[in-house]
């Protein structure tokens, strides 16, 4: 059992952020938040803890004054933040990070991305690569991550193994792709693709959960995008999805102009891109749609109706010049939106970087007079406030993954997925943690609001001191 003592920040919805200058959180031995008291004064901490430990409800949960309780006291410049949720990334593409920026999507796939993914046919290479991928992702703070694997079953099992042994909450999918790739990187038939997907689902279901909680690693059905799946494959994936009505699905949608027109050519009977997935039963609650830069009004309404979620990938959208997603509009319509690093379309597995680029995307849209002049209320056409940006990175992402009842913010009964964020003092505590010389440091008299702002807009992995999934420390440079 652990008690955390320190400031915290989290969101309740896209426009409500809560700051507490000093909180006390009790985390049970199975990682559940048993109690929280916010805005405690520093001279009343001991007294408050004693009261909490003697509280009848807390005693029923196993707390007592004489129990074995670890106290974790945050230092100056540190605060608790909900663990980040990366709703869209590609594990086999990590060796390509920061390469290929000269291409747009379709050439980028052909020239640099498919060749990199093809290397995963070597399962030994997969094990070595994926160990490093999961280690790096965790160090940047995503306690939950939606991973695309390659086409290869054995390699993708290795990815699931790495998430499982590192203790990361994850969705792991084997890409389905039976056309429009290279001769050597394509699945031989829809049947082969489906059998391998079923085998992966079975395998992931055998990974043992933590002793006292539900599994952390989940399978996810992963048609790469409509272009790379034949009608027959999409149909079979739809049947597979209907056999597993709770299972998550991930794919790409409406990322780039050429991709959209090719999709229309390939599926002339579909009303639009979103309609292709809908036709095959792949657009539903738990579907994570990557990018969604150019959705039409009809598509937006359909996505909302089906209760699918959107992975906003702004870094990648700029890097491979795809476009800008209208996140304000999606949120105004009540669509679930989270952030995706989309490595290696994005440069790094950094959700902080993605927050910064989501902010810039919204600012560019707000500077476009034809857009900003149309909207007077709501988020569309405005630059996104801090509450919205933090929400996208945490609770918003959790809701895209249908995990909003389990994680995403600090609420009694939820699992403790959290970061200890650190904005060190100049030359002071934490300065050398994380390898050197963080780009932001606190100034005298900084409020918690200012620290959070510095972290979100100037932070990187050096500002992520500890990473907890379900109460277990899984990464970080803190001792």
Ligand X SMILES: Nc1nc2[nH]cnc2c(=O)[nH]1
Near ligand X in 265-304, by CB under 6 A:
none
CA-to-CA separations, 450 to 433, 440, 446, in angstroms, rounded: 21, 11, 6
Minimum CB–partner distance for residue 166 and Zn ion (Å): 22
Contact indicator for 395, 404 with CB cutoff of 8 Å:
yes
Query: CB nearest ligand X: which residue?
Result: 345
Applying CB under 6 A, among 157, 180, 252, 406 the residue interacting with ligand X is 252
Distance between CA 409 and CA 417 in Å, rounded?
A: 8
Closest to ligand X by CB, 342 or 415: 342
Distance between CA 84 and CA 419 in Å, rounded?
A: 8
Q: Which does 331 bind (CB under 5 to 8 A by kind): Zn ion, ligand X, none?
A: none
Distance between CA 38 and CA 134 in Å, rounded?
A: 33
Applying CB under 6 A, among 164, 174, 224, 272 the residue interacting with ligand X is 224
Distance between CA 361 and CA 340 in Å, rounded?
A: 14
One-character DSSP codes across 187-233:
-S-HHHHHHHHHHHHHHHHHSPPPTTS--SEEEEEEE--GGGS-HHH
Closest to ligand X by CB, 224 or 312: 224
Applying CB under 5 A, among 118, 278, 342, 461 the residue interacting with Zn ion is 342
- Interface with Zn ion: number of residues (CB under 5 A): 2
Query: CB nearest Zn ion: which residue?
Result: 342
Which position has the token pair 């608790």? 80
Near ligand X in 36-55, by CB under 6 A:
none
Applying CB under 6 A, among 299, 342, 415, 466 the residue interacting with ligand X is 342
Q: How far is CA 216 from the centre of its chain?
A: 14
Return the range that interacts with ligand X (CB under 6 A); candidates 24-32, 105-113, 153-161, 389-397.
105-113
Compute and round to an integer the Cα radius of gyration of the chain.
22
Which position has the token pair 């079953």? 153
Q: Is 31 helix (H, G, I), strand (E, B) or coil?
A: coil
Does 354 participate in binding ligand X (rule CB under 6 A)? no
Closest among 406, 289, 283, 296 to 337, alpha carbons compared:
289
Q: Which does 225 bind (CB under 5 to 8 A by kind): ligand X, Zn ion, none?
A: ligand X
Does 90 participate in binding ligand X (rule CB under 6 A)? yes
Interface mask toward ligand X for 110-139; x: CB under 6 A = ---x--------------------------
Give me the residues that bind ligand X (CB under 6 A), please: 90, 105, 109, 113, 224-225, 252, 255, 316, 342, 345
Give me the residues that bind Zn ion (CB under 5 A), please: 290, 342
């Amino acid at each position: 059992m652990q008690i955390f003592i320190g400031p915290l920040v989290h969101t309740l919805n896209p426009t409500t952020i809560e700051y507490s200058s000093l909180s006390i959180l009790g985390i049970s031995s199975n990682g559940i938040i048993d109690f929280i008291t916010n805005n405690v004064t520093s001279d009343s901490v001991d007294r408050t803890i004693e009261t909490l430990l003697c509280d009848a409800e807390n005693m029923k949960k196993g707390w007592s004054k004489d129990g074995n309780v670890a106290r974790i006291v945050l230092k100056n410049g540190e605060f608790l933040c909900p663990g980040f949720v990366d709703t869209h990334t590609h594990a086999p593409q990590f060796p390509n990070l920061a390469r290929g920026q000269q291409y747009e999507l379709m050439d980028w796939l052909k020239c640099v991305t498919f060749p990199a993914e093809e290397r995963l046919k070597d399962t030994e290479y997969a094990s070595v690569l994926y160990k490093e991928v999961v280690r790096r992702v965790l160090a940047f703070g995503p306690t939950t991550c939606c991973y695309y694997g390659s086409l290869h079953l054995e390699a993708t099992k290795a990815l699931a193994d790495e998430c499982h042994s590192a203790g990361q909450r994850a969705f792991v999918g084997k890409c389905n792709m039976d056309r429009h790739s290279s001769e050597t990187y394509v699945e031989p038939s829809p049947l082969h693709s489906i059998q391998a997907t079923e085998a992966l689902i079975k395998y992931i279901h055998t990974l043992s959960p933590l002793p006292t909680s539900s599994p952390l690693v989940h399978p996810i059905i992963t048609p790469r995008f409509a272009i790379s799946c034949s009608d027959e494959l999409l149909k079979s994936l739809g049947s597979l999805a209907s056999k597993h009505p709770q299972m998550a699905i991930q794919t790409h949608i409406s990322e780039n102009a050429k991709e959209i027109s090719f999709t229309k050519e390939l599926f002339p009977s579909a009303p639009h891109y979103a309609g292709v997935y809908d036709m095959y039963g792949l657009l539903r609650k738990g579907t994570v749609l990557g990018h969604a830069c150019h959705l039409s009004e009809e598509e937006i309404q359909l996505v909302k109706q089906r209760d699918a979620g959107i992975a906003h990938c702004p870094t990648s959208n700029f890097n491979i010049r795809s476009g800008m997603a209208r996140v304000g509009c999606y949120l105004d319509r009540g669509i679930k939106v989270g952030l995706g690093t989309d490595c290696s379309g994005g440069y790094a597995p950094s959700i902080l970087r993605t927050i910064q680029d989501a902010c810039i995307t919204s600012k560019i849209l707000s500077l476009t007079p034809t857009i900003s002049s149309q909207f007077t209320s709501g988020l569309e056409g405005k630059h996104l406030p801090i509450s919205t940006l933090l929400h996208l990175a945490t609770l918003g992402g959790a809701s895209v993954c249908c995990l909003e009842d389990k994680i995403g913010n600090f609420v009694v009964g939820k699992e403790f997925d959290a970061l200890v964020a650190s904005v060190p003092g100049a030359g002071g505590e934490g300065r050398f943690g994380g390898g050197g010389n963080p780009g932001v440091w606190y100034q005298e008299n900084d409020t918690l609001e200012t620290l959070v702002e510095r972290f979100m807009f100037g932070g990187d992995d050096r500002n992520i001191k500890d990473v907890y999934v379900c109460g277990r420390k899984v990464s970080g440079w803190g001792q």
